[in-house]
Amino acid sequence: MLVPYFNESIDLDEHVGRIVKAHFEQTPFWSRYTEKTGLNPNSITSLRDLRRLPYVTDDFLRNLDPCELIPRNYRGVLVRSTSSGTTGNPKTVYWGEDIVKQMANFSAWALSIRGFPKNQYWLGTVTDNDVLKMFLNELASRFGGKFHGVEVDARTAKQIASSKNREDMIKFFSPIVDRLIEHFQNNQVGVYEDIAPLLLMTGERLNESQSLYLQAILFGGVGMTRDMLRMFKHNIYKNRKFGGWYGDYMNGASMQITEERDGDDLTYFPFVPYVVIEIRKEDNINEQVKEGERGIIVTHRIGPDLFIPNRVTGDSGVRVRSSFVDWDGVADVARLPPEIMKRLEHDLSSEFLIFYRS
């Protein structure tokens, strides 16, 4: 399948075959996997062939030394990416610096379609994740701007945000909002990036003079809903451009890439060919749902720096297609119920764990 990316087309199946062969030959974990299983790297020649490999779960990733995923012959600069640790011990992988920069190019292309402004002061929150920090700095620079980040504790922030306890949210987020408001007060902030709870609390406190120069909102995280987006657009952040992204430490940024509509669209497309999203059936995770149906989000990280196929993210979403690009996206992302995720962890984690511990 050819997928358009900027001014070129990429054969996704050819890309998969080339990346798999390279990792199976050069990456410690994958080299040992092929030796013990007898899997022929040349037998993986398409995206669909990745289904022949086991599923990757958080339980497996917590037990894996991330250095075992780095190809021995990789000569690029590596950047650390760490999960928030909301579901257990944090997980770490390493991205190639050049891949982070390409992701910033992809994301800037997406935001330019949605009318994001140039030469602005960018403000947002960041976590202790070097890939996230680099990505936002690179993204702002693509628009001639500079990103200024207020650091937050990702684990606590996600736990409190998911609890939806208003009192706890105010107690934890208020000091962060104070620092954000100070930036708005002392600088001409033109682009504001944040998760939904902080967008809400900051927007409720901003006065007209503090937000005078604000032109665009970049939202992220699973917490954004259609109702909340409508409220932001029509009440709290009127007459601003909006762009959103969905992702995490492993998959980076999947972006809204179509022109912004006066609606509540929450559809994201991944950073192909390095990240591919598939929406699988809850009762048969080996099969994709039909377009327009909700299912389990399974991702593939397919790059020269990192190869992680069949990762169960813990999220669900609706499978979407677009005439704008020739690959699947996901809409209306939500966390999977704990009982479903627990079942998936139990059913899918055994093969890689048994191999890794042997």
318 within 8 A of 294, measured Cβ to Cβ: yes
pTM: 0.91
Q: Are strands 267-268 and 294-302 parallel, antiparallel or unpaired?
A: unpaired
Indicate the pLDDT class of residue 4, thresholds 50, 70 and 90: very low
CATH of domain 2-357: 3.40.50.12780
- Given a contact cutoff of 8 angstroms between Cβ atoms, the answer to whether 96 and 304 are in contact is yes
Q: Which long-range contacts (CB under 8 A, 24 or more apart) does 262-265 make?
A: 262/233, 264/226, 264/227, 264/229, 264/230, 264/233, 265/331
Residues 217-234 have pLDDT tens digits of 999 978 899 999 999 999
In this prediction, residue 7 has a pLDDT band, given cuts at 50, 70 and 90, of very low
The yes-or-no verdict on residue 1 having pLDDT over 50 is no
Among 94-98, 292-296, 326-330, the least confident range: 326-330
The pairing of beta strand 146-151 with beta strand 121-126: parallel
> In the block, which residue shows the tokens 């995206």?
47
